[in-house]
Amino acid sequence: MKIGILTSGGDCPGLNAVIRGAVIKGDHIYGHSFLGVKDGFRGLVADKVHKLPRKQVRGLSRQGGTILGTSRTSPFEEGAGGADRVKEVMAKHGMDAVIAIGGEGTLTVARMLHEEGVNIVGVPKTIDNDLSATDYTFGFDTAVAIATESIDRLRTTAESHHRCMVVEVMGRHVGWIALHAGLASGAHAVLIPEIPISFERIVEWVRSAQARGRAPVVVVAEGFSLDRDSTGGGSGIVNPRGVDHLGRPRLGGIGEALTPMIEQATGIETRCATLGHLQRGGVPTAYDRVLATRFGAAAVDVVTQAAWGTMVALKGIEIDTVALRDATSELKSVPRTRYDEAAILFG
């Protein structure tokens, strides 16, 4: 078979390891050949397709980013040509199937293409870990490791100056990165979109940490908002940065907003650090390399079985296959019990 591979959506450490795993297994076990599609679905409709021989994936599992490039373009956008254009480009190159590596948006596009008869399978990726059909996505472990190391560093400078440090992390509408990095670094408060927390509670945690001689560390997920009420209502986001070209809010800014409020309410000098895209850059952790490589190899099995419209997923420690229509139906948010378990350690 001739298989096209594309990476789409925000990049994520481990994408190259998926590509390598798929190409090596496909070549070695099945004799498949591969085509690289540049910049996600944009390259598929614009016919930016090139050969992807085994020698091009050498040493790739430790390399961050994606050798194929990525974009947030959908073939269903106005003027892009939809599934018909995708089929046309595939036919031109003799491409029998597509492996689409991406997050929720990419997997939704993959499902729509499958429904229109395109031979496609998905591989889930996101640092946010918000896909309900898989226990973990690769990229998450790396993002948590980077955030944890950054918080450890910020803590030493905060301690020297007897300051409070607010650290904003990514995660979109879920708090997995904040929860895990906050727990790993021993933060005194973790604020996530799923759980409404009053400002008074935050101030209590900061004051109690300071009273014990600590430099208080507050980890806040970019999707957290103070305007959520106890029923989870309210806008749920602070969105001073507008929307991207798909109309999705560009999150970020809650850390900067909270910092002067905490300083004023507690009298403790407070600084903010927003980790931003640092969490998506650089080499993947060993865990992410292993998961991504296994996903890539499993995706080739799925293609060989012609199980179109499915996605590889991690269930416990095994790789499984799930229907794309089930993979994108709901976000995996942090359950209350997981937050409460961590919150015992706050303050």
Question: What is the spatial order of strands in the sheet that 164-169 belongs to?
Answer: 189-191, 217-221, 164-169, 270-274
Which residue is catalytic, options 11, 128, 141, 301? 128
Q: Active-site residue 128, yes or no?
A: yes
Q: Compute the least distance from the CB of residue 97 to ligand F6P, in Å.
A: 26
Is-contact 202 220, C-beta < 8 A? no
Q: Is residue 10 part of the contact set for ligand F6P (CB under 6 A)?
A: yes
> Cβ neighbours of residue 91 under 8 Å, at least 6 residues apart?
none
Is-contact 74 81, C-beta < 8 A? no
From the list 129, 103, 123, 102, the residue with the least C-alpha distance to 21 is 123
Q: Compute the least distance from the CB of residue 91 to ligand F6P, in Å.
A: 32
Q: Is residue 175 part of the contact set for ligand F6P (CB under 6 A)?
A: no
Q: Compute the least distance from the CB of residue 223 to ligand F6P, in Å.
A: 8
Q: Compute the least distance from the CB of residue 122 to ligand F6P, in Å.
A: 16
Residue range at the interface with ligand F6P (CB under 6 A); choices 57-65, 87-95, 168-176, 257-265: 168-176
Q: Compute the least distance from the CB of residue 171 to ligand F6P, in Å.
A: 5
Distance of CA 162 to the CA centre of its chain: 34
From the list 164, 272, 271, the residue with the least C-alpha distance to 210 is 164
**Token digits for 216?**
């208080």
Q: Compute the least distance from the CB of residue 38 to ligand F6P, in Å.
A: 18
Residue nearest to ligand F6P (CB): 170
Q: Is residue 291 part of the contact set for ligand F6P (CB under 6 A)?
A: no
> Cβ neighbours of residue 337 under 8 Å, at least 6 residues apart?
none
- Taking the C-alpha atoms of residue 7 and residue 39, their distance in angstroms, rounded to an integer, is 7
Q: Is residue 172 part of the contact set for ligand F6P (CB under 6 A)?
A: yes
Residue range at the interface with ligand F6P (CB under 6 A); choices 78-86, 88-96, 164-172, 334-342: 164-172
**DSSP per-residue string spanning 276-304:** GGGGG-SPPPHHHHHHHHHHHHHHHHHHH
Q: Is residue 150 part of the contact set for ligand F6P (CB under 6 A)?
A: no
Residue range at the interface with ligand F6P (CB under 6 A); choices 75-83, 125-133, 151-159, 257-265: 125-133
Q: Is residue 174 part of the contact set for ligand F6P (CB under 6 A)?
A: no
Is the CB of 128 or the CB of 288 nearer to ligand F6P? 128
- Of 83, 170, 268, 272, the one binding ligand F6P (CB under 6 A) is 170
Q: Is residue 3 part of the contact set for ligand F6P (CB under 6 A)?
A: no
Q: List 221's β-bridge partners, or say none.
A: 169
Angstrom CA distances, 172 to 88, 104, 199, 221, 232, stand at 35, 12, 21, 8, 16
Is-contact 52 5, C-beta < 8 A? yes
Is the CB of 208 or the CB of 333 nearer to ligand F6P? 333
Interface with ligand F6P in residues 227-256 (CB under 6 A) = 244, 251
Is the CB of 222 or the CB of 301 nearer to ligand F6P? 222
Is-contact 174 332, C-beta < 8 A? yes
Is-contact 54 23, C-beta < 8 A? yes
Interface with ligand F6P in residues 21-80 (CB under 6 A) = none
Q: Is residue 14 part of the contact set for ligand F6P (CB under 6 A)?
A: no
Q: Compute the least distance from the CB of residue 172 to ligand F6P, in Å.
A: 4
Q: Is residue 280 part of the contact set for ligand F6P (CB under 6 A)?
A: yes
Rg (CA), the chain: 22
Q: Is residue 181 part of the contact set for ligand F6P (CB under 6 A)?
A: no
What residues line the site for ligand F6P (CB under 6 A)?
A: 10, 103, 126-128, 170-172, 222, 244, 251, 280
Catalytic residue positions, numbered? 128
